[in-house]
Chains A and B, each alone.
Chain A
Amino acid sequence: MPKTELDLYPYQSWEERPQITWPNGAKLAFWVAPNIEFYELEPPDNPYRKPWPHPYPAVPGYSIRDYGNRVGHQRQMALLDKYGIRGSISLSAALCEHHPEIIALCAERDWEFFSHGIYNTRYTYGLSEAEERSMIEDAMATIERAVGKRPAGYLAPALSHSDHTIDLFAEAGGLYTCDLFHDDQPTPVRTRGGQRFVSIPYSLELNDTIAFVVQRMEPRRYGEIIRRAFDELLAEGAQKGTVMCIPTHNYQVSCPHRLRAFEEALAYITGHPDVWVTTGREIADHYLAHYYDAAVDAAGGFT
C-alpha cells in the first residue's frame, strides 16, 4: 500500500533554524556533483518505466550520453580543476567496469564517488526489497573495489525509488541521500534502523539536465540562474549556513556551446569569500559531527 505521508523528516520552518557554521566560518557550502552515468543500448524492459523513447537502437538518446563520457567528461574536469573544485561523482557503478579510465582520472584528483545505482537504465521500480538490497550492495561493492572506499552517498538510479530505498541504503552503511529536495540545509533523515543518516541538498532546479532538457533553457540563462541562486543562498547563509549544489551531466553542460556560461558562474562563486568549496561527503561529515544531534533533539527525537 502506498504511504499517505513520507515520514522521513519532521517539519521545520526556515525561520527557525539554528545557525550552521561551515569550516573557516564559511556561510555557504558549495559542491558540484557531476553525474557520470552509463546508459545501456539494450536495457531490459522495465514494466514501470521505459528507458528510451525510441525503439531499439535508440541512437539519439544513447549516443549523446556516450558523448558525455567520450568528450564531455575531460572537458568539465579541466574546468573544475581550474576553479579548484573537487567533483562529487554521482556514479553509475558499472562505469567502473566499462570506463575505468574515467574513474582513474577522478580518483587522482581525490574526487568523491557516491552511488547512483548500476546503470541509469536500471530502475528501482519492479524490484522486491531483497532485490533492491542486492542492487544497492552491488553498486557499493563495485565502487569500493574500484576506488578503495565505500560510497557514503546515494542518488537512486534515474531518481527511481521504493519505500525502502533510504532504509536499505542506510543499512548498507551509507551516510547521506541526495534524493530529497525539501531543504537548503542538511537535515536528519529517519531510518527504520535508527542509523545516523542525513539528507544533503542536491538540486533539481539547478540540475543542468532539468535546465536544458526539461526547461529548454538558453545556456547563458543557465549561468544567470546559478548566480542568482548563489547570491540568495550566500546572503541567507550569514544567518543560517546554507548548502548549494550544482548537479551536472557531461552530455549537457560540457557541450561546447554551454560550458562558457557554466564557467562564468563557477568563476563568480569561487571568487567569493565565505564559501566552503567542498564535497557531499564532507558536508555530511561536518553536519553529523556538529549539528545532527541538536537537530534531532529539536525535532523531539526520531521515534
Chain B
Amino acid sequence: MSNPLLTYTRRRYGMDHDRYRWSMLQDRPAVRWPGGKPLALWINMSVQHFPLSGEKPQVAPPGALTMPYPDLRHYTLRDYGNRVGIYRVLAALEDAGAVASVAVSGQLAQRYPTLMERLAATGSEWLGHGWNMNAVHAGDLDPERERQWIGDTLAALEPYAPQPITGWLSPGRLQTALTPELLAEHGLGYHCDWVNDELPYAFDTLKGELTCLPSSLELDDVFVLTNNLHSEDSYCQQVIDAADLLIDEATRLQSGRMLSLNLHPWLVGQPHRIQTVRDILSALLVERGEAIWNAAPSAIIAAAQSA
C-alpha cells in the first residue's frame, strides 16, 4: 500500500531521529553529586526583553505581546520584570544563599547596562537566551538570520558575563531543525530546550556534540501560574512534592536526580508572588538543605558526566 499515512520510514529500534541515543533514566550508570547528596537543584532566572513592535515570530513564546500595537499592557508588564521584579527575586535568592543561573536576552545588554552589571556582580553563570523574545528559533527561519541572532546575543552578553558563556536556552524552548548545529558552531557546550529528561545527556549535531540539560517546562513558573492558572500556593506545593519525590527516588535507587526551576522576574517578581519564591527557596534550601546540592548548570553537567 502506498498511502503515505501508512508508510513508516523510521520505524526501528531507538529514536526516530539522530539527535540522541535512546535510554531510560533508571537504567543509566548511577550519578553521584558532591557530598553524596541525592538531589541537584538548578535554579535559572530568565531575563527577557519583549520588543514593542517588529515582525511577529512563527510561534509566539510564553509571555508574548498579544494586543494590537501599541500593546502597552504587556510591554510594560514584561518591562516591570527588568525594572522591579528582578531586584525582588535577586534579593530572595541572595537572602537564601541560593545559586542561580541567568538566561538573558542579548538585546538587554545594550538596553539596560545597569541591570547587566548588577547581574554580573552576582557571579552567576550566564546563558544565552536569544536576541529577544520575538527572535524565536522556529519553523523555516532563515539559517543566516538564526546564526546572526545567536552570534549577536553571545557578543552582547560576553562583556558582562563573569565566565565565557557555554549554555543556551532558546526563547520558548523552541528550535529550528538547525538550531543545535548553529549552537555548536558558536562554541556553545549545552542547551536546555528538549524537556525529555531529568539529567544532562549527550545531544548530537553535525558540528559536534552538545549536552542537553533539560529545563523542566512542566514546573516552569509561567507554565504553572499563567498557562495552568494554578495558585501560588499550589505552585509552591508542586515544587515541594517534586523535590520530595526526587529525593526519595535518588535515595532508593542510589543515583542522583535533578530538579530544575525556571523563574521569570516579570511574573514571580510581582508583589503578590515574591513570597512564594521565598517559601520555595526556604522549603528547598533550609528544610531540605541536607538533601539538596544547589549548583550552577555547568557544575551539574560536569558532576553528571563524571558518573
Contact = CB atoms under 8 A, between A and B. Distances in A.
B138 A54 contact: yes
A94 interface: yes
Contact of A60 (B14, B23, B217, B244): B217
B196 A63 contact: yes
Given A40-B16, A100-B13, A131 B3 contact: yes
A122 interface: yes
A188 B194 CA distance: 44
A259 B245 contact: yes
Given A60-B174, A98-B13, A55 B246 contact: no
A14 interface: no
Contact of B17 (A42, A94, A260): A42
A57 B227 contact: no
Contact of A40 (B10, B173, B259): B10
B221 to A, nearest CB: 12
Interface string B229-251: 11100100111011111100100
B121 interface: no
A219 B238 CA distance: 7
Interface in A88-110: 94, 97-102
Interface in A58-94: 59-60, 62-64, 66-67, 69-71, 73-75, 94
A218 to B, nearest CB: 5
Nearest to A44: B4
Nearest to A94: B11
Contact of B238 (A97, A126, A257): A257
B22 A99 contact: yes
B139 interface: yes
B24 A71 contact: yes
Interface string B151-195: 000000000000000000000111111000000000000000111
Given A56-B177, A255-B242, A135 B227 contact: no
A60 B195 contact: yes
Contacts of B17: 41-42
Contacts of B23: 70
A256 interface: yes
Contacts of B217: 60, 64
A98 B218 contact: no
A256 B259 contact: yes
Contacts of B11: 94, 97-98, 118
Nearest to A259: B245
Interface residues of A, number: 52
Nearest to B25: A71
Interface in B70-102: none
B5 A127 contact: yes
Nearest to B178: A57
B58 interface: yes
A220 interface: yes
Contacts of A195: none
B109 interface: no
A181 B18 CA distance: 39
B291 to A, nearest CB: 14
B16 A42 contact: yes
A134 interface: yes
Contacts of A122: 5-6
A44 B2 CA distance: 13
Interface string A221-256: 000000000000000000000000000000000011
Most chain-A Cβ atoms within 10 A of its Cβ — which of B10, B12, B16, B246?
Answer: B16
Nearest to A38: B16
A220 B172 CA distance: 27
A182 interface: no
A59 B174 CA distance: 6
A12 interface: no
A44 B27 contact: no
Contacts of B14: 98
A277 B118 CA distance: 58
B24 A101 contact: yes
A216 interface: yes
A55 B59 contact: yes
Interface in B20-78: 22-27, 58-59
Contact of B173 (A59, A71, A258): A59
Contact of A70 (B5, B174, B196, B241): B196
A177 to B, nearest CB: 22
6 contacts: A63-B195, A98-B12, A98-B15, A131-B6, A134-B6, A260-B244
Interface of A: 38, 40-42, 44, 46, 54-57, 59-60, 62-64, 66-67, 69-71, 73-75, 94, 97-102, 118-119, 122-123, 126-127, 131, 134-135, 138, 212, 216, 218-220, 255-261
Given A54-B139, A55-B138, A118-B11, 12 more contacts: A55-B139, A57-B177, A59-B173, A60-B217, A71-B24, A98-B14, A122-B5, A127-B3, A138-B6, A216-B227, A216-B230, A218-B238
Interface of B: 1, 3-8, 10-17, 22-27, 58-59, 138-140, 172-177, 193-198, 214, 217-219, 227-231, 234, 237-239, 241-246, 249, 259
